[in-house]
Amino acid sequence: MLNPELIPLRLVSASRRAPLQIDRRTVRASQRTAVLAGEILLLVARIGFLYLVRRLTRQKLGTLLKEFCQRMGVLWIKVGQLLSMRADLAPPEVRSELAKLQDRVKGFPGEEALLLVERELGRPWASCFAEFDVTPLAAASIGQVHRARLKRENVEVAVKVQRPEVEQIYQRDMRMVRLLIWVLELVRFRPHARLANMLWEIEEAMREELDYRYEASNMRRLKKTLTPHGVYAPIVYDECSTQRILTMEFVRGVLMSDYLAVARTDPPRLAQWHEANRVIPRLVAKRLLHSFLRQAFEDDLFHSDLHPGNIVLLRDSRIAFLDFGSAGTMERDFRRKVDMFIEAMGTRQYSKAVDLFFLFSDDLPSQGIEDCKRELVRRLLIWDNRSRVTQLPFEVKTLNRMMDEMVFVAAGYGVAPVWSFFRMTRAMATMDASLQELFPEADFHNLIIGYHRGRAKRLRGKIFQQPMHGHISLQDWLEVQQQLMEDAVYRGSVVRRTAQVFEATTSKVMLLVARLFAVGAGMAQGLILLLLFAVIYQHHRDWQIWMPTLPYLDALLTPDAVAGQTWLLALVLLAYVQNRLARLSKVFARPR
């Protein structure tokens, strides 16, 4: 349980919060396809009308798409959030609007929630809970949260209850998304983005979010790894949890979303709260970012949705996380590349950072890579200068803003990172709103360097400090091994990618050679036809009734001008050359 001494004073009273609205009109899964089709047609009609009257701006388009995704909920919010990460798919104004998508909707009746709890537990709700508040605290498109008290443990808990028929609605929506992506691929819309791969990302994310057993597992695992970070995670109560309900400890604290609201409306009261609860905003910002980097690169399990509604502020600059439905992990080799990329960005090794950035793409074009690298390095140097000016707005200095710009520039050269890279960047982007208020003058280079210093210190703490033979300590030896491993991963990956580019270039050259041989074979075939014509013209005058009279050809091809054997030899030679050229064309055109 959370130490009571860490529970801070209230910043926003419950009475000042607007009550959650309840929507008693329920759209059943059987009606979903018709409702969705109608909403899509209405969206297309509104966009078409605004375009015809010349009032369709990029921001207006983004607003329409955001409102559509918000109304449809469940899957469509996830689609909008994924698209907001891709600078190569939509203009900045559209992505900016989609980035505002929050999974916050009206709740459904608490009586329905109680019925679902009893159905899932297989017994009356009173056998598990001493109290159950039917008024939801918060609601999202997949489920909503109720406050309750466990009967046996006599502790206050939060119970997350899934919406009725939400899985069936998701399946129907998924069919529509597959159809839309099929159409986009058919018309060759942004083929480099590999929209089909986005389907896999969506299906994996939704599969976990629709089954609360995954979230319970994420909670237990992250609770162990977050404790050394000074970050708290709630306790899960398995006996009152199933696939569709999740019972967890109710964490008392100040939501970061409430903190941001007070920061905008009443800064003096916020300053008093800082002092009363011994909260240092800069320290909270560093703990938040460093904890995320530790989760991603040291623990290999990270909370991937750290928006302000999922961060709780505690006393003594401590924090707690909520909502573990979105947790990410990375394949080992990919994780090492991302780790080295972030470190290269923080230590201002921009040429190395760009080389590593190229490794996040499935394939690279055979031309323009050096131009792309020069452009990216130039943009990184500009970002570096911006980050040193403390008076500039926070949003133009963030690491996420720079990675977004890199994706946009690289797309112009045909380079597109894989979707796994965007899962990581989105997880970092969700923290920007909190970091902006907590540490507006932050220099991300220093924050990343600070993380790596702490990481090295933690590594040293795990190693015996006794010196080995000679003057080399065990610590120094292990650090050298670590550096060699990183260098091997980096160089090996670069060599493999260079080989891929060389292979692509070689394939294009071979295809060009094959076409040249094909042209040569065609020319040889044409010469054979011309020679046949000449032989007929010279030796078979009786066939020339249908031929035109050619005085110049008559003078050149007199009956004794060229012997028949010579004509035959020339024809055989040309036939041989044509055959060899045709064979070579097939050999060079053969895929490898």
Helix/strand/coil (H/E/C) assignment for every residue in 18-79: CCCCECCCCCCHHHHHHHHHHHHHHHHHHHHHHHHCCCCCHHHHHHHHHHHHHHHCCHHHHH
- Cα diameter, the chain: 119
* Distances from the Cα of 272 to the Cα of 52, 268, 433, 448, angstroms: 54, 6, 22, 30
The DSSP element (H or E) to which 146 belongs, if any, is strand 143-150
Assess whether pLDDT exceeds 60 at residue 557. Answer: no
What pLDDT shows up at residue 531?
75
Looking at residue 537, its pLDDT comes to 62
Please, which pLDDT band fits residue 253 given cuts at 50, 70 and 90? very high
The whole-angstrom separation of Cα 342 and Cα 327 is: 20
Give me the chain's average pLDDT, please.
Answer: 84
Q: What is the DSSP letter of 17?
A: S
Closest CA to 337 of 353, 321, 323: 353
* Least confident range of 3-17, 33-47, 554-568: 554-568
Helix residue ranges, H only, 84-227: 92-98, 110-121, 166-186, 195-209, 212-226
The answer to whether residue 128 scores a pLDDT higher than 70 is yes
Highest mean pLDDT among 174-178, 217-221, 439-443: 217-221
pLDDT at 575 over 80: yes
CA distance 517 to 328: 52
Each residue of 234-247: pLDDT tens digit?
A: 999 999 999 999 99
The pLDDT of residue 466 is above 50 = no
Mean pLDDT, residues 189-195:
75
Q: How far apart are CA 455 and CA 295, in angstroms?
A: 12
Boundaries of every domain in the chain? 24-103, 332-494, 504-589
Whether pLDDT at 425 is above 90: no
Query: 173, 258, 305, 323: which one is catalytic?
Result: 305
pLDDT of 181 > 80? The answer is yes
Cα–Cα distance, 511 to 513 (Å, whole number)? 5
C-alpha closest to that of 543 among 534, 552, 555? 534
Cα separation values, 115 from 125, 161, 168, 545, Å:
8, 10, 18, 100
- Summarised one tens digit per residue, pLDDT across range 527-536 is 888 777 776 6
Task: Give the whole-angstrom CA distance, residue 323 versus residue 304.
Answer: 10
Q: How confident is the model at residue 363 (pLDDT cuts 50, 70, 90)?
A: confident
Specify the pLDDT at position 33: 85
Angle at the Cα of 394 from the Cα atoms of 393 and 396, rounded to 5 degrees? 75
Residue type at 158 in one-letter notation? A
pLDDT tier for residue 374 given thresholds of 50, 70 and 90: very high
Question: Does position 124 have pLDDT exceeding 80, yes or no?
Answer: yes
Q: How far apart are CA 432 and CA 439, in angstroms?
A: 10
pLDDT in tens, 34-93: 888 899 999 999 999 999 999 999 999 999 998 898 888 878 888 888 788 777 778 888
Run of H or E residues at 81: helix 75-83
Note if 299 is an active site residue: no
**Sole residue written with tokens 């140097």:** 381
- The helix/strand count (H/E) of the chain reads as 21, 11
The residues with which 467 forms a beta bridge, in sequence order, are: 473
DSSP class of 100? T
Is residue 192 classed exposed, middle or buried when 0-12, 13-18 and 19+ CB atoms within 10 A define those classes? middle
DSSP of 289-323: HHHHHHIIIIIS-EES---GGGEEE-GGG-EEE--
Contact 279, 273 (CB under 8 A): yes
The number of beta carbons lying within 10 Å of the beta carbon of residue 51 is: 11
72-76, 262-266, 293-297, 463-467: least confidently modelled range:
463-467
Tell me what pLDDT residue 530 has: 78
Which amino acid makes up residue 94? V
Residues above pLDDT 90, as percent of the chain = 41
**At residue 496, does pLDDT exceed 60?**
no
Examine the pLDDT at 469 and tell me if it is beyond 50. no
Check pLDDT > 50 for residue 194.
yes
Mean pLDDT value across residues 450-456: 91
Q: Is the dihedral of CA 122, 125, 127, 129 positive or negative?
A: positive
Question: DSSP string covering 232-257, please?
Answer: E-PPB-GGG--SSEEEEE---SEEHH
Q: What is the pLDDT of residue 516?
A: 82
Distance from C-alpha of 459 to C-alpha of 453, rounded to nearest angstrom: 10
Whether residue 535 contacts residue 561, with contact meaning beta carbons closer than 8 Å, is answered with: no
Task: Quick: pLDDT tens for 267-294.
Answer: 999 999 999 999 999 999 999 999 999 9
Of 129, 371, 90, nearest to 250 by C-alpha is 129
Measure the CA–CA gap between 384 and 353, rounded to whole angstroms.
Answer: 13
Residue burial 299-311, b: 16+ Cβ < 10 Å; e: rest: bebbbbbbbbbbb
Q: Is 552 a residue whose pLDDT tops 60? A: no
Average pLDDT over residues 12-39: 78
Which residues, at least 6 apart from 380, have a Cβ–Cβ distance to it below 8 Å? 345, 350, 353, 354, 402, 406
Q: Higher-confidence residue: 344 or 423?
A: 344
Comparing 475 with 143, the larger pLDDT belongs to 143
pLDDT by residue (tens digit) across 288-326?
Answer: 999 999 999 999 899 998 999 899 999 999 999 999 988
Total Cβ atoms within 10 A of residue 382: 12
Confidence of residue 180 (pLDDT cuts 50, 70, 90): confident
pLDDT attached to residue 19: 74
Give the separation between CA 91 and CA 82, rounded to whole angstroms.
14
Query: Can you give the pLDDT at residue 468?
Result: 47
